[in-house]
Amino acid sequence: MEKLKYRELVQKILMAHTERVLNGECSNRETALQTIFDVERDHYLVMVVGWHSGRRDYGSLIHVDIKDDKIWIQSDGTEVGVASELVEAGIPSHDIVLGYKSPFKRQFTDYGKG
């Protein structure tokens, strides 16, 4: 599968996570999700921004990079798992690297080693 298709699938999956919140799932009027896509450099994020129970809520829910023709999942705070969604969408598991796992632990996963 070509890199352009990877970009489209990553964007589609991240937008779906954001839209679920916008359509009422897990909604919190004080907290919002923002999608940030740097297509030129292949960095894709879903950020949590706002307040929850009087405390600042800020950070990346999902962070995905595309480098060396592989999809690197740098952060995944979802229950479903972005990697499994990408495989379901047709991306071979060896082209997905779980960047949030140490290089040593990656050898024991069903995904790319990086």
Interval 28-71: pLDDT, tens: 567 888 999 999 999 999 999 998 888 999 999 999 999 999 99
**Closest-CA residue to 74 (of 63, 85, 83, 82):** 63
pLDDT mean across residues, the chain = 90
pLDDT at 3 over 80: no
How many beta carbons lie within 10 A of that of residue 113, not counting itself? 11
pLDDT at 17 over 60: yes
In a domain, 111, yes or no: no
The CATH code of the domain that includes 71 is 3.30.310.110
Contact between 97 and 70 (Cβ < 8 Å): yes
The amino acid that residue 110 corresponds to is D
pLDDT at 106 over 90: yes
Note the pLDDT of residue 94. 96
Q: How far is CA 112 from the centre of its chain?
A: 16
- The CA-to-CA distance between both ends of the chain, in Å, stands at 18
Give the Cα separation of 83 and 6 in Å (integer): 12
* Residue numbers of the domain that contains 94: 3-106
Note the pLDDT of residue 32. 85
* pLDDT bracket for residue 21 (50, 70, 90): low
Number of domains in the chain: 1
